[in-house]
Amino acid sequence: MSQVNQREGISRVVAGLLALFLALGWGRVSAQLTDEQLMDSVQVHALKYFWDYAHPTSKLSRERVHLDNISFDVNTMATGGSGFGFMNVIVGIENGYITASDGVAHLNTALDFLWDADRFHGAWPHWINGNTGSVIPFSAFDDGGDLVETALLCQALICIREYFKDGNAEEQILAQKADVLWKGVEWDWYTQGENVLYWHWSPNYQWQMNFQIRGYNEALITYLLAAASPTFPIDNAVYHEGWARSGDIVSSASQYGLPVVLSHNGAPGTVGPLFWAHYAYLGLDPHGLSDSYANYWDVVTHHTDIVFEHCVANPNGFGGYGENCWGLTAGYTRNPDGSTGYAAHQPNNDNGVITPTAALSSMPYAPARSMDFLRYLYEDADGMYLGSDGEYVGALGPFDAISPHYDWKTERYLAIDQGTIGPMIENHKTQLFWNLFMGAPEIKQGLQNLGFASTVHDLSSTCDVTACPGPEYCGPGTHWDPVVSACVVAHPADVDLDACVAVSDVLQVLSLFGQCFD
């Protein structure tokens, strides 16, 4: 039985009632909600961003939603944000906020659109036009592939595959689409033959952006997926010399008595914005995870605790900061004139603006402190539930940026901020995405290749041959790879999209995506 169908009883009834109350504008209630009910509440609110405001044609996720100007950037889709959106849809299915059939239809439309969207040596651009699939330039020379945004999307594609692979016929076809899409990324192309990955490539400006991806920041997932790819893998040296800077990624600094562990780019001696502890770890489980450079549970929990301690110590004297109001990360910000801008908030760049996703998406790392902040947002002084009637909460959940010090908020949302809240809370509740992603055979192999070990997950990638498909099941444009025990595609262009085959045959192929199923 698929995971989709395992929890369709009590969970759907209870969570569905909560979702209904929220959808009807449920405001103050007569009693304080439990932690579980509050987490459900914010997960439902966050899902609305990716469900109610998904693009009507592509079902991808808008880069931003401004409640004061809903039509702003209405066709600008975020590649990484869409990956986060896919994971929120799975959260919705898993908890009964939406039906499995509706969720699968939504995801099928999105993956079909991604198949035809612009790709550059397999990588999608940062922004995609939601109507046409064409690239929308992110900056003057950034009109091609964005490898980090692509990695965030592929992290979600692997979770889709693992979640639906044992489901019904429609779910298995969705899993196959996700599989072949992720395997079409030419990670090795983005090295330029060097032992480092490059963030961008443009057909018009080639490598003019010239931005090497080096740690530490949010891009660990990019190197892991590049090493795990069964089709276009990088050499292990690319990780060790590029990402890890031949060992220079390690930091001896401490803040508030806590080791920083890794050297955070642009934050010497301290830590960067908290999204660095979220993006790569939506699927990658840091529990018990280590390599020759770090224990990654220490990396993410110390990062979280240092930001918390900074907000409590409050060296800049901003009003409102404290144990129940904390969190610094990238997002919208308050400009000196009171208008809305954008900034990467972190201890060495703190302007009095709190970004709610920072604390809420840290629920697995600091559950009590994150819950205190959630109650600060969603309850009044007497502990009564306010929901979207709260000062800093709207129809799609907590606003992207708030400042009690300046009595300021922006009634705007960003996909990359709102999108991590639901999945990270789900990882806290059930470890759903951590188990899905860490259970993928190529991820296990990739982690082993790079020298990672886990005390929580078995990284053995062997497969029981009696339960696996074999070479005879590989469809057009695919071949059998014994390492990952799956049919893989050399390149998406090699798949004959006009070759319609029987669904019963296709369900035995892990990497065949045919438009004849539409």
- CATH number of the domain encompassing residue 141: 1.50.10.140
Residues 445 and 492 in one domain: no
Task: Give residue 461's pLDDT.
Answer: 65
Residues 399 and 424 in one domain: yes
Nearest to 282 by CA among 162, 97, 444, 155: 155
Give first-to-last CA distance, the chain, whole Å: 25
In the numeric block, which tokens belong to residue 481? 């790879």
Provide Rg for the chain, Cα atoms: 22
Alpha helices in 189-345 (DSSP H): 220-228, 236-237, 296-313
In the numeric block, which tokens belong to residue 285? 């489980």
Nearest to 346 by CA among 395, 275, 441: 275
List of residues 6+ apart from 213 with CB closer than 8 A: 147, 148, 196, 197, 198, 199, 219, 222, 223, 242, 243
Cβ neighbours, 10 Å, residue 495: 22
CB 95 within 8 Å of CB 18:
no
Q: Cα separation of 478 and 471, whole Å?
A: 10
Please identify, among 414, 444, 461, the residue that sits at the C-terminal boundary of a domain: 461
Task: Give residue 18's pLDDT.
Answer: 52
Residues 210 and 315 in one domain: yes
In the numeric block, which tokens belong to residue 71? 């039509």
Please identify, among 416, 446, 461, the residue that sits at the C-terminal boundary of a domain: 461
| Dihedral pair phi/psi, residue 57, rounded to 5° | -90, -55
In three-state secondary structure terms, 397 is: strand
Residues 455 and 469 in one domain: no
Task: Give residue 218's pLDDT.
Answer: 98
CB 332 within 8 Å of CB 322:
no
Residues 359 and 505 in one domain: no
- Determine the structural domain holding residue 363 and report its residue range: 3-461
In three-state secondary structure terms, 453 is: strand
Residues 60 and 169 in one domain: yes
Residues 355 and 484 in one domain: no
Amino acid sitting at position 73? D
Amino acid sitting at position 286? P
Buried b (16+ CB within 10 A) or exposed e, 233-250: bbeeebbbbbbbbeeebb
Burial class (CB in 10 A: 0-12, 13-18, 19+), 37: middle
Task: Give residue 20's pLDDT.
Answer: 43
Task: Give residue 69's pLDDT.
Answer: 93
Number of domains forming the structure of the chain = 2
Q: Cα separation of 161 and 175, whole Å?
A: 4
Q: Within its chain, how far is the Cα of 130 from the centroid?
A: 19
Residues 443 and 481 in one domain: no
CB 327 within 8 Å of CB 307:
yes
Q: Could you tell me the pTM of the whole model?
A: 0.88
Cβ neighbours, 10 Å, residue 53: 19
Answer left, alpha or beta for residue 266, where phi above 0 means left and psi between -120 and 50 means alpha. Answer: left
Please identify, among 461, 482, 508, the residue that sits at the C-terminal boundary of a domain: 461
Q: Cα separation of 232 and 114, whole Å?
A: 19
Sign of CA dihedral 230, 235, 236, 238: negative
Sign of CA dihedral 319, 325, 330, 333: negative
CB 127 within 8 Å of CB 101:
no
Task: Give residue 31's pLDDT.
Answer: 64
Buried b (16+ CB within 10 A) or exposed e, 122-144: bbbbbbbbbeebebbebeebbbb
Q: Cα separation of 489 and 479, whole Å?
A: 6
Nearest to 170 by CA among 247, 84, 109: 109
Residue 331, strand partner residues: 343
pLDDT per residue of the chain (518 residues) written in tens, 0 to 9: 344 444 343 344 344 445 445 443 444 554 689 999 999 999 999 999 999 999 999 999 999 999 989 999 999 999 999 999 999 999 999 999 999 999 999 999 999 999 999 999 999 999 999 999 999 999 999 999 999 999 999 999 999 999 999 999 999 999 999 999 999 999 999 999 999 999 999 999 999 999 999 999 999 999 999 999 999 999 999 999 999 999 999 999 999 999 999 999 999 999 999 999 999 999 999 999 999 999 999 999 999 999 999 999 999 999 999 999 999 999 999 999 999 999 999 999 999 999 999 999 999 999 999 999 999 999 998 999 999 999 999 999 999 999 999 999 999 999 999 999 999 999 999 999 999 999 999 999 999 999 999 999 999 865 443 344 455 544 434 566 666 555 565 444 444 433 333 333 333 333 333 322 22
Nearest to 413 by CA among 51, 46, 65: 65
In three-state secondary structure terms, 200 is: strand
Task: Give residue 222's pLDDT.
Answer: 98
Q: Cα separation of 225 and 337, whole Å?
A: 42
Residues 405 and 467 in one domain: no
Buried b (16+ CB within 10 A) or exposed e, 95-120: bbbbebeebbebbbbbbbbbbebbbb
Residues 455 and 479 in one domain: no
CB 282 within 8 Å of CB 427:
yes
What are the DSSP E strand ranges found in 217-360? 254-255, 258-259, 289-290, 330-334, 340-344
Residues 255 and 367 in one domain: yes
Q: Cα separation of 334 and 120, whole Å?
A: 36
Q: Cα separation of 281 and 253, whole Å?
A: 23
Residues 437 and 494 in one domain: no
CB 58 within 8 Å of CB 50:
no
